[in-house]
């Protein structure tokens, strides 16, 4: 009798139990039919808003492989060698490299076509020697990196085999071993950070990098500038309040963008949270809102205005520093300002006040976030450029004395 009563209760509960369907905010709305009962389950089709296209979609990317770049540079080299003077210089360079290699000098074993083009165009012998030493050091770094990878791989295999012998089941309990926490993969973090930048593009102010200085930089300056742009992109997407970055006057076949796409192969894809355009900022934005940041003007930036669009010149001028950004801003009739470095900082004697692109961007992002110039500048300016206070000198002397003891 008791079992019969329990069975009847279960049947009644099962009949009147409602069915709760949880759906995403992106699900399509399907109305149930009037003749449906509570046990009918309506499956909704999930509509995925994928901000990231397939990684294999390279239709909009102009990134070239190493072989394709060498083929293009080889054609340029052949065109250069059609002139008799260049052909003579090319043969002399070959003989000189063979002679230096026999003497045991620091010469790279293999030269790419772009390296021969640089050597042919180098105006002096000292620049040729410096470039050859630069290529030799890069070659040695690559060789050492490959050897370290082999050693690391062998050590990891050995360590795995030892752990497998100690714990055949694979379960090891302790700090840094089996854990209840899920692993965050690099791809997952990339998606999260990219979504953070994409959502900020709707509301945060815009910052422009002016990439119109290709012809004014040597190749090593182009490489340095591209690395600083990579650091700027990484800094922006990891900041609490990232800005909407624009690279203007940046044709995709330019030297700077080609080097940038070599460092970040996905940067030219449509789903990458960065606007790269060959157009000028004058064609995109209102001229009255533009402010060109240059250290050579007289107007000092007093506060950050979120309604303004600040322009940073993507220029590295180590060889021949000139006031290129000042001249361009004057020519285009754009308002100019300089960061208040001398207002809040005491610079050391003989220290340069030049800042990298990522340091300037970090100052703009932090002053927008904190509204505190002192905290922002002391955070982003390298301490070696500033004058040490008496307290810092005393601390450093005490540290040196204690270390010598």
How remote is the C-alpha of 321 from its chain's centroid? 25
Asked whether the beta carbons of 261 and 230 are under 8 A apart, the reply is no
Higher pLDDT, 64 or 279: 279
As a whole number, mean pLDDT of residues 357-382 equals 93
Token output for 396: 């450093």
As a whole number, mean pLDDT of residues 84-92 equals 87
The pTM of the full predicted model, rounded to 2 decimals, is 0.62
Q: What's the number of CA atoms in the CB half-sphere (13 Å) around residue 138? A: 11
Q: pLDDT tens digits for 324-362?
A: 999 999 999 999 999 999 899 888 776 678 899 999 999
Higher pLDDT, 106 or 291: 291
Token output for 243: 């800005």
Higher pLDDT, 179 or 88: 88
Q: Which of 64-68, 125-129, 141-145 has the highest mean pLDDT?
A: 141-145
As a whole number, mean pLDDT of residues 365-394 equals 82
- Hey, which residues does 163 pair with through a beta bridge? none
- pLDDT value at position 163? 76
Asked whether the beta carbons of 200 and 301 are under 8 A apart, the reply is no
Q: CA nearest 281: which of 212, 337, 364?
A: 212
As a whole number, mean pLDDT of residues 210-220 equals 91
Higher pLDDT, 115 or 353: 115
- pLDDT value at position 349? 72
- pLDDT value at position 34? 45
Higher pLDDT, 344 or 399: 344
Instruction: Quote the CA–CA distance of 352 and 363 in Å, as a whole number.
Output: 17
Instruction: Quote the CA–CA distance of 143 and 138 in Å, as a whole number.
Output: 9
- pLDDT value at position 374? 92
Q: In this model, does residue 9 exceed pLDDT 60?
A: no
- pLDDT value at position 270? 86
**What's the chain's average pLDDT?**
80
Asked whether the beta carbons of 359 and 366 are under 8 A apart, the reply is no
- pLDDT value at position 353? 80
- pLDDT value at position 346? 86
Q: CA nearest 239: which of 280, 200, 187?
A: 200
| Helix (H), strand (E), coil (C) string for the chain | CHHHHHHHHHHHHHHHCCCCCCCCCCECCCCCCCCCCCCCCCCCCECCCCCCCCCCCCCCCCCCCHHHHHHHHHHHHHHHHCCHHHHHHHHHHHHHHHHHHHCCCCCCCCCCHHHHHHHHHCCCHHHHHHHHHHHHHHHHHHHHHHHHHHHHHHHHHHHHHHHHHHCCCCCCECCCCECCCCCCCHHHHHHHHHHHHHHHCCCCCEEEEECCCHHHCCHHHHHHHHHHHHHHHHHHHHCCCCCEEEEECCCCCCHHHHHHHHHCCCCCCCCCCCEECCCCHHHHCCHHHEEEECCCCCCECCCCCCCCEEEEECCCCCCCCCCHHHHHHHHHCCEEEECCHHHHCCECCCCCCCCCHHHHHHHHHHHHHHCCHHHHHHHHCCHHHECCCHHHHHHHHHHHHHHHC
Q: In this model, does residue 12 exceed pLDDT 60?
A: no
- pLDDT value at position 228? 96
- pLDDT value at position 40? 42
Q: pLDDT tens digits for 29-73?
A: 444 444 444 444 444 444 444 444 444 444 444 557 888 888 888
- pLDDT value at position 391? 42
Instruction: Quote the CA–CA distance of 168 and 156 in Å, as a whole number.
Output: 17
- pLDDT value at position 357? 95
Q: pLDDT tens digits for 152-199?
A: 999 999 988 887 787 776 666 556 666 566 667 788 888 899 998 998
Task: Give me the active site residues, please.
Answer: 317
Token output for 279: 């157009």
Q: In this model, does residue 148 exceed pLDDT 80?
A: yes
Q: CA nearest 229: which of 187, 184, 192, 262?
A: 262
Q: CA nearest 207: which of 338, 314, 353?
A: 314
Asked whether the beta carbons of 31 and 50 are under 8 A apart, the reply is no
Query: Under 8 Å CB-to-CB from 266, ≥6 apart: which residues?
Result: 55, 61, 272
* Other CB atoms within 10 Å distance of the CB of residue 339: 24
Asked whether the beta carbons of 188 and 232 are under 8 A apart, the reply is no
């Amino acid at each position: 009798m008791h079992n019969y009563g329990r069975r009847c209760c279960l049947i009644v509960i099962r009949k009147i139990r409602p069915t709760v369907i949880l759906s995403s905010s992106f699900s399509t709305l399907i109305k149930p039919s009037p003749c449906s009962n509570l046990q009918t389950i309506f499956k909704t089709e999930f509509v995925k808003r994928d901000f990231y296209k397939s990684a294999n979609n390279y239709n909009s990317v102009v990134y070239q492989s190493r072989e394709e770049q060498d083929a293009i540079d080889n054609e340029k080299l052949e065109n250069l060698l059609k002139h008799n003077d260049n052909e003579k210089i090319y043969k002399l360079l070959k003989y000189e490299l063979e002679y230096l290699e026999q003497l045991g000098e620091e010469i790279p074993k293999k030269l790419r076509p772009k390296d021969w083009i640089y050597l042919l165009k180098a105006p002096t012998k000292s620049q040729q020697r410096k470039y050859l030493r630069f290529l030799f050091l890069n070659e040695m770094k690559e060789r050492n990196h490959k050897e370290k990878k082999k050693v690391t791989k062998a050590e990891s295999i050995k360590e795995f085999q030892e752990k497998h012998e100690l714990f055949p089941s694979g379960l090891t309990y302790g700090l840094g071993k089996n854990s209840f926490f899920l692993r965050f993969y690099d791809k997952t973090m990339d998606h999260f950070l990219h979504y953070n930048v994409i959502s900020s593009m709707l509301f945060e102010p815009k910052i422009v990098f002016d990439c119109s200085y290709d012809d004014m930089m040597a190749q090593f300056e182009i490489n340095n500038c591209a690395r600083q742009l990579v650091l700027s992109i990484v800094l922006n997407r990891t900041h609490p309040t990232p800005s909407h970055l624009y690279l203007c006057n940046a044709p995709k076949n330019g030297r700077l963008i080609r080097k940038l796409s070599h460092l970040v192969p996905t940067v030219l894809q449509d789903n990458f949270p960065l606007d790269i355009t060959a157009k000028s900022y004058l064609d995109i934005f209102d001229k009255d809102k533009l402010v060109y940041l240059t250290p050579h003007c007289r107007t000092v930036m007093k506060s950050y205005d979120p309604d303004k669009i600040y322009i940073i010149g993507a220029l590295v001028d180590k060889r021949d520093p000139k006031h290129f950004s000042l001249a361009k801003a004057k020519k285009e009739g754009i308002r100019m300002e300089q960061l208040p470095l001398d207002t809040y900082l005491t610079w050391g004697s003989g220290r340069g006040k030049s800042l990298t692109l990522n340091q300037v961007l970090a100052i703009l992002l932090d002053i927008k976030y904190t509204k505190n110039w002192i905290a922002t500048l002391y955070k982003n300016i390298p301490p070696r450029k500033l004058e040490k206070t008496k307290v810092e000198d005393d601390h450093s002397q005490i540290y040196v004395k204690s270390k010598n003891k």
